[in-house]
Amino acid sequence: MILLSGEVTIELPLAQRVVRSRFSRSYFRTFWSIRLFMGVPNLKFGIVVFPGTWSEKDTHHAVSGVLGQDAEYIWHDDEKIDQYDGIVLPGGFSYGDYLRCGAIARFSPVMEAVTAFAERGGPVIGICNGFQVLCESGLLPGVLMRNDHLEFRCIWTDLKVENDSTMFTSTATKGQTLHIPMSHGEGNYLADETTIERLEGNGQIVFRYADAAGNVTPEINPNGSLNNIAGIVNERGNVMGMMPHPEKACEKLIGGDDGNVIFNSMINNIVASLA
């Protein structure tokens, strides 16, 4: 067991079982070993900021203020991100959501760096608009379209954990529900039938919209997403996109801290992979 600053406990055996076969970051292991030797165990998260991003400060607070890790903002025209252990694309309205949500942001210089980072096995999470950008960039399949009711919804949702063997959910239990808010007008996840079958068959659907008891029904679906999909992961398991906002569920004072399950899972698994 390793204790990091803040409120994070790293359970290495569990994390190693989860990530060893699917997640490798040998590119950074020497750098990490030097940091451990120097007594600086905190991970460093990079939070990408596009013109129109609005949830970067909440994300910074969750990762740094609550969980005690280091976090820095990455401007959209930055092209060097190798110094980070994990990348977060937060929510917002990048470039005003013109053309289509995320359609312009995908051409920002930083996205070439994010793509290269992900291809090396680096962990990337896209939240809300970040999920849309990941889909537009081809890092995740499918697309996020206008909510089927044509309304912007800002509500608390319950997410059923469908896969607890990802690096984003290893501290959760399959079937568990996480109480996390959403805030979007274009969260309707769509993909062709073949893609949906592949996501279902590979266990790449991480979260579904459900009720508090974990029942997945059409009535509880807040935006029309196919199969109640709220979050997916790529085949390699190191890139995840989700529409609800875990950074806005990091403290009981603001309604709940279930979002920390996701960030703590990332921290555990990154540490294990770099040990």
Q: pLDDT tens, 180-235?
A: 999 999 999 999 999 999 999 999 999 999 999 999 999 999 999 999 999 999 99
Mean pLDDT of the chain: 88
Torsion of CA 256, 96, 47, 141, to 10 degrees: 80
Choice among 135, 186, 245, 250 that is catalytic? 245
Tell me: pLDDT of 2 over 50: no
Using alpha carbons, select from 111, 101, 104, 108 the residue that is nearest to residue 132: 101
Tell me: pLDDT of 112 over 50: yes
Question: Tokens 């800002």 — which residue?
Answer: 154
Choice among 76, 186, 247, 250 that is catalytic? 247
Mean local confidence (pLDDT), 93-115: 95
- Dist. CA 107–CA 104, nearest whole Å: 6
Confirm whether 128 is a catalytic residue. Answer: yes
Q: Which of 20-24, 100-104, 192-196 has the lowest mean pLDDT?
A: 20-24
Distance of CA 210 to the CA centre of its chain: 19
- Dist. CA 234–CA 132, nearest whole Å: 14
Share of the chain above pLDDT 70, in %: 85
User: Residue 202 forms beta bridges with which residues?
Assistant: none
Mean local confidence (pLDDT), 70-77: 97
Tell me: pLDDT of 27 over 80: no
Give pLDDT, residue 230.
98
Give pLDDT, residue 82.
94
Give pLDDT, residue 41.
65
Show the tokens assigned to 4. 């990091």
Share of the chain above pLDDT 90, in %: 83
Question: Tokens 């980072």 — which residue?
Answer: 117
**Residues across the chain:** 275
Choice among 56, 76, 128, 135 that is catalytic? 128
Domain ranges of the chain: 2-274
Confirm whether 247 is a catalytic residue. Answer: yes
| Span 124-151, pLDDT tens digits | 999 999 999 999 999 999 999 999 999 9
Tell me: pLDDT of 87 over 80: yes
| Residues whose CB falls within 8 Å of the CB of residue 215, separated by 6 or more in sequence, listed in order | none
- Dist. CA 260–CA 66, nearest whole Å: 9
| Span 230-251, pLDDT tens digits | 999 999 999 999 999 999 999 9
CATH superfamily, domain 2-274, is Class I glutamine amidotransferase (GATase) domain (3.40.50.880)
